[in-house]
Amino acid sequence: MQHRPQLFYTTAPAPCPYLPDRTERKVLTELAGPDAVALHNRLSQAGFRRSHAIAYAPVCVGCRACTPMRIPAATFAPTRTQKKIRSRHADLIANMVPPVPTDEQFRLFEMYQAVRHPDGDMAHMCWRDYAELIANTPVETFLAEFRRPDGTLVCVSLIDRLSDGLSAVYTFYDVNDLTASWGTFSILWLIEQTARMGLEHLYLGYYVPGSPKMAYKAAFGPAEVFRDGHWSLLGGLLAGTLPA
């Protein structure tokens, strides 16, 4: 059988969703065929992310602010605040379920978008769009659903399994309880789940110094970032320096 080369495409410039007065460009490729899982693993370990059946990475001209980030589960050290959050939400019931969209999830998703990201692209997603986000995956994917003891759904994480870890694709949660920290709790749980599954890393997507949307990621450490072709400790980026 003739080998078909993997094709990569570059998107047109668009407004950056993280930093003002900047534009973004992405390189992307399709995850398809019998090699989709292996390709997804290789690209994830090289700083790519997945959306639907596409793997992408930023290739912005004159800017390298988006920095791939992962948490080594074996060396993660929760802060005092994170320990309190873990304890405060200890009664939450977490279940791993197949990537099957439900009306209950969608209602939570709509509420989250309306409050947290009213100007974002996802705020206008209909049921079909949401179903595609959840179910259109060529790799091993599951949902982590977090519920109160009475069964109320408060948080959902879409997760990919990689050969060396878990990848947090997207998380949304109940925004009505201002005293809750569902997002932080879900990351803490996923780090623990990574270790329970005998895997090494939780991939958290892009850390963007200077972006309020991404500031929370700096609280999880020690973390590693992918820069200049290899993974290394986050280090100086914590100071908020913005890569050129």
Bigger pLDDT: 237 vs 143: 143
For residues 121 and 108, give the distance between their C-alpha atoms in angstroms, rounded to a whole number.
Answer: 17
Beta carbons within 8 Å of 4's beta carbon, 6+ residues apart: none
pLDDT cut 90: percent of the chain above it: 81
Tell me the average pLDDT across 208-233. 91
For residues 45 and 166, is the Cβ–Cβ distance under 8 A?
Answer: no
Residue 238 pLDDT greater than 70, yes or no: no
Residue 244 pLDDT greater than 60, yes or no: no
The chain-wide mean pLDDT, for the chain, equals 92
Residue 200 pLDDT greater than 70, yes or no: yes
88-138 pLDDT per residue, tens:
999 999 999 999 999 999 999 999 999 988 887 888 899 999 999 999 999
Residue 5 pLDDT greater than 90, yes or no: no
180-193 pLDDT per residue, tens:
999 999 999 999 99
Tell me the average pLDDT across 5-17. 91
pLDDT cut 70: percent of the chain above it: 94
For residues 165 and 203, give the distance between their C-alpha atoms in angstroms, rounded to a whole number.
Answer: 7
DSSP states along 25-75:
-EEEEE--STTHHHHHHHHHTTT-EEETTEEEEE--TT----EEEEEETTT
41-80 pLDDT per residue, tens:
999 999 999 999 999 999 999 999 999 999 999 999 999 9
Cβ density class 211-220: b for 16+ within 10 Å, e for less: beebeebbeb
